[in-house]
Amino acid sequence: MLIASGPSSQELGKKTAELMKAKTIAVASKRFPDGESYIRFDDELVGEEVIIIQTASPPQDTNMFQLFLMADTAKDMGAERVIAVIPYLAYARQDKRFLHGEAFSVLTVAKLLERVGVDQLLTVNARQKVLDEFPFPAKTVSAIPLLAQYCKNKGIEEAFSLAPDEGAKDYAMEGAKILGGGYGWRHKERDRHTGAISFRDEEYDVKGKDAVIFDDIISTGGTTADSAKMLKAQGARRVFCACVHPLLIGDAEKKIMNNGAEEIVGTDCVPSPLSKVSVAPLIAKTLLGR
Ligand code: R5P
């Protein structure tokens, strides 16, 4: 088994390989002045199982294309199996055809991965239901317990765990298992044409208590900012925001902090200054436990 850390997950790949005590292979990469990517393996791959760790956070298309180049080249060089670890699986939110004629984007990604020789996929906090439609084994694991543990280690205990929508309900449940303090979720609706979101809330058990918002993604920050504001309005003492994939587009961080949050914590599925929790132990354990 050889671990290849792609350009977008150098640190995470290194940490994972160390935890697995696995052999690593060097991946040389560069971008040409026009933006095209270059990839080169420096080792022999004949007959090997190659695990490529490459997240597909922004710039999604570039990172995904570099993964295509690595997988295809590994197979061309004689690798027997290629396992793609894509901690942030770009396009996973378009996991069905919501409107007539729309691209079913994540399935297009799956077909391309299969075409370049990927035999298996491991990702973090995507929806297993759509992964089951992939033309090869694809699995997701959850980093929410790691985020909840980070909060607990900071002394945030008996906090209420909130999911900003029903789809994230399991995240709040996972958080509550570690933090205690109960859990709940908001009712969110999104206009599929304009993208505008609206919420319906109940009274949550947060008066005078700490609260943690758990979500898979913070993109523009609108969902988390609104949730933080709602929790404060309902009397929460302190509000923490924990997400697996901190995309933090534009002024997302500022927006959330301005709405009463104490701290935002993310994982290194998406490298950012707020990615204080590493998913390396989770990935290593999952790969070793196959
Ligand atoms: C949506 O279902 C996701 O779980 C996130 O809540 C969403 O992607 C967050 O987006 P934004 O930060 O732009 O509100």
Tell me what percent of the residues of the chain surpass a pLDDT of 70.
100
Q: What pLDDT is attached to residue 157?
A: 83
For a pocket test of ligand 1, which of 223, 229, 274 has the largest count of ligand atoms closer than 8 A to its C-beta? 223
Structure tokens at 148: 């909840």
Mean pLDDT, residues 148-152 taken together: 98
pLDDT per residue as tens digits for the range 199-251: 999 999 999 999 999 999 999 999 999 999 999 999 999 999 999 999 999 99
Active-site residue set: 188
Ligand 1 atom nearest residue 168's Cα: 4
Mutational test site, ligand 1, from 94, 170, 217, 253, max ligand atoms within 8 Å of CB? 217
pLDDT-above-90 percentage for the chain:
94
- What's the average model confidence in pLDDT over 54-83? 98
Q: Ligand 1 center to residue 78 CA distance, Å? A: 40
- Regarding the beta carbon of 215 and ligand 1, being less than 6 Å apart is answered yes
Measured from the CB, is residue 221 less than 6 Å from ligand 1?
Answer: yes
- Does the C-beta of 87 come closer than 6 Å to ligand 1? no
Give the tokens for residue 274.
């707020």
195, pLDDT greater than 90: no
Average pLDDT over residues 173-195: 94
pLDDT higher than threshold 90 for residue 24: yes
**What are the tens digits of pLDDT across the range 81-130?**
999 999 999 999 998 899 999 999 999 999 999 999 999 999 999 999 99
